[in-house]
Structure formats: structure tokens, C-alpha cells
A and B are shown apart, each in its own frame.
Chain A
């Protein structure tokens, strides 16, 4: 990517945001919309600044839950995918349960998890893991199987052991798939954390952003509601960008998905 293209790719969405925010601001002012219905962008920004201590503490809690859940989902998801790759029978017997976990709405099982797991934070992390793990499992196991059959023949003819084939062939082949799953999972871990917080409704010291939204809604403090929403969105974008940077760092030299256009 050339410098000008890079700048352009950044500038274009920023310009769209600027236009939309300006329209929003103008509409709120022109129609004199009360802040408890739709606050103006400047009002939201002001609230964000005023309530920064409260909101940042909540962001820290929510982001902590999401990141912990993502780390667990990566480790456990990759381990399960490796287990699936060992035999078709193992995969066939366990995959339906992974899908079961995926299709069951987290809102429906979160209350159970919160009842069963005594530590609230652990319960919230577990909920987020349940949501985030499936794309890691499914993408990584797809990747572990999507190996060039000729390379597999080459390994067979070289009398490679199962272990050599796994480490030198299957795992590197699976990396692009794994990262695609990770991108989805990073967003899902945050969604899972927020949804679980909603269900748990934990206040006080460990209150996350979802709790702030819940409270702000009850109190009709809509500017704060929006401010919390902005932070959740920014956290999600930050996680997505971080995963993207990691993926580029690992795959840049060889995989089509991360090659720069000038190469």
C-alpha cells in the first residue's frame, strides 16, 4: 500500500464520520431535541469527559473480561481444534456439541452460568468464552484439514511422523484460518462480556460498561448511555485492529490475505 493510499483509506471513513456527526448535531439543534431522547454529539463528548472516572473504571472491567475470555477462547479453541484434527471420529463425536454451544443464545444460558459459577467475574468470563470460542474452533480445524494434498504426499514420502506433519505442515497451513477466526472471536468476546454483564446486573466496585448503560437507561441519563456505548464501540475497534496487526505481523511475508498490493 502506498502512503497516499494508506492516508486515503484512513481519511475516507473519518470524513464519513465527520459528515454524519455534523448532520446529527445540526438535526438535534434545529429540531430542539431534548438530550434525554437524543443527545447531540457534543453533549455526549462532554458527558464522556465529565464521567470519565466512572466510565473508564467500567471500561477497564469490561475490557478485562473480554480480553481474559478471548485469551481462554484462543487457548481452548486451538486445543480443541488440534484434538479434532487427530481423528475424524473425535471430530464427528464432539463437533455437534460445539455447534450446540454456538447456536444456543448466550442470553438464555447466562443466568444458569451465573447461578452455577460462584465468582461473578469468572461467570462473566465463562459466558464470553462460550460466545467467542466457536469461530476459533471451526476456523482452526478447517485450517488444519485444508492442507495441500501434494504436500501431504511429500511428507508421507519423506516418512514424516504425525508430529512432524502437525508442526511443520498442518499448523502453519492453519494459521491464516486461525487468524480469520480470531478476528470474529475478538468482537464476539466483547459482545459476550457485555451481554453477560447485562444479565448479571453487577453493580458496585466491579460494574462494567453494560451496567452503566443499564443504570443510565433507568435514570434516563441518555448522554451517559451514549458515552458508555461509544467506549464499548471503541474497545471493539481497538481489539479488531490489534488482532489485524498481529495477523499481518505473522502472515505478512507469505499469505495472500496480508500481502501489500505493491508486492
Chain B
């Protein structure tokens, strides 16, 4: 099957000579939940932005559904991105923020409103549709941001450390909600995180990266069945996988330092 997104020897060197990312080779298939795991400065965000078509690789290429990523392609194949911060427009109400991608695509108001309400219901924010972002907690703002991504019914959902700034309780809750959405809506997710636990808990596959130079050092399938629960977090299998990934990152960093 054609992968949803494929990076073929994609690398990024910035104009000032900074090598952000060594050539990367990997693909994400339909329905996969792939976590990009690594320490700060390993090029995770660079990689995600290349996968999103926001950043052109300086070598190699990116393909979506087997076609060159740029220029813009089939409008049915939608990408959506969730950023590190909620990235909501502070002047617009929650519902207007969520509806934004539809408004920009000139979707008729009635159907846009219906889709917006559906997306708000998915993340449990129906009651807060008329609120302004700053009236919401950090976790609720992130839910609104996820609703905005889901409103276009994306074929590929790209997430850049979406829960990194949240407290651990909220983070676990949103991890579970995201996992349920992924299963329920057959999403394909590429998820950047620096949390080993989060990567192992959520993903079907973890791509391990390391810094200086930014590169991919391993591609580890996580075979535990979904849905996963907090019992999985306490299992020996979970602990062993986390320890193995952690060792990989430390070892790779040590050889450079």
C-alpha cells in the first residue's frame, strides 16, 4: 500500500550551514500512529515541518500518497497540524477558531457550522463554543486546537509535542482521548514528543532520533494491542520498552559527546 507520507533521503541544512537533519528515510502507512522521539535539537520539528510541506528539504524529497509533496495536491487528501502551543486566535471565539480551516476553504456556512459542532463534540468542548480562548484552561485550549485539526477530517494528522506544556494528569487524559480518536476515526498520526513514556504509550511505531547531528537512529514497532490503558503503563513490557529506547538515545548521544 502507498504510504501516506514518505521521506526519501530528506535532509535539511539551513542557509547558515547549520545541519538540522541528516538524510532520513521512513514512511508512515495509513492508520499508523508514529511517534518521533528524541531530545531537544534532534530535528524532530524540522522533520515534522518537512512532512507538513511547510519546509522544503535541502536534499532528498517528501512524498504524500506517492506524489511529490509540493506543489499542493489533491484537495481530498487533507493534512492538519497541531502545534506545541494551542495557537488559537485570541480575538476569535472557540467555535470560530475551530471553523477557521473551513472558512479559509470557503465551505458553506451551514455545513461548516455542522462540522465545527461535530469537532467540538469530539473533544468535549460543545459548552465552550462561545468562549474566548483565554477563558479556557491550557488543556481545553489544546482540545480546541485538536478540534480545529479534526474539523477538516484530515487524512494525516501531524502533531508537534502537543501536550508538552500540560501537567501530567491533563496530559494522560489527553493522551487517552487522542488514542481513542485515532482508533475511532482511523486517523494516521505523526506525533513528535520528547517523552519516552508518551511515545511508547501511544504509538504503533517509535522513530528514535538523536541530536548533533540530528538523525534517525532506530525505528521500533510497539506491538502492544490497542486500546491501551493505565494498566499498560504499569506493565513490565512497557517498562522494558521505555528502558530500551532510553538506552538508545543515551548511547547515541554519548558516542558524539
Contacts and interface: CB of A to CB of B under 8 A. Distances in A.
Contact of A157 (B53, B84, B90, B91): B53
Interface in B42-62: 49, 52-54
A148 B87 contact: yes
A155 B83 CA distance: 13
A86 to B, nearest CB: 20
Interface string A128-153: 00000000000000000000101101
A159 B87 contact: no
B244 interface: no
Given A253-B132, A254-B90, A255-B90, A153 B104 contact: no
Contacts of B89: 151, 168-169, 172
A172 B91 contact: yes
A152 B72 CA distance: 17
A180 to B, nearest CB: 16
Contacts of A255: 90-91
Given A172-B91, A254-B134, A159 B104 contact: yes
A153 B54 CA distance: 7
B105 A157 contact: no
A150 B87 contact: yes
A243 B148 CA distance: 35
A164 B100 CA distance: 11
Contact of B87 (A151, A158, A254): A151
A254 B88 CA distance: 11
A162 to B, nearest CB: 12
A154 B81 contact: yes
A167 to B, nearest CB: 11
Contacts of B84: 150
Contacts of A175: 91
A262 to B, nearest CB: 13
B101 interface: yes
A254 B134 CA distance: 7
B92 to A, nearest CB: 8
Instruction: Identify which of A153, A155, A158 gathers the most chain B CB atoms within 10 Å of its CB.
Output: A158
B83 A150 contact: yes
B80 interface: yes
Interface in B26-73: 49, 52-54, 72
Contacts of B52: 153, 157
B85 interface: yes
B54 A157 contact: yes
B90 A154 contact: no
B100 A158 contact: yes
A175 B83 CA distance: 24
Contacts of A148: 87
A156 interface: yes
A158 B83 CA distance: 14
B247 to A, nearest CB: 33
Contacts of A172: 89, 91-92
Nearest to B85: A150
Contacts of A160: 104
B51 to A, nearest CB: 11
Contact of A156 (B54, B83, B91, B132): B54
B81 to A, nearest CB: 6
19 contacts: A150-B85, A151-B87, A153-B49, A153-B83, A154-B87, A156-B54, A157-B80, A157-B81, A158-B104, A158-B105, A158-B152, A159-B104, A168-B100, A168-B103, A169-B89, A172-B92, A253-B132, A254-B90, A254-B132
Interface of B: 49, 52-54, 72, 79-81, 83-85, 87, 89-92, 100-101, 103-105, 132-134, 152
4 closest Cβ contacts across the A-B interface? A150-B87, A158-B104, A150-B83, A254-B90
Interface of A: 148, 150-151, 153-160, 164, 168-169, 172, 175, 253-255, 259
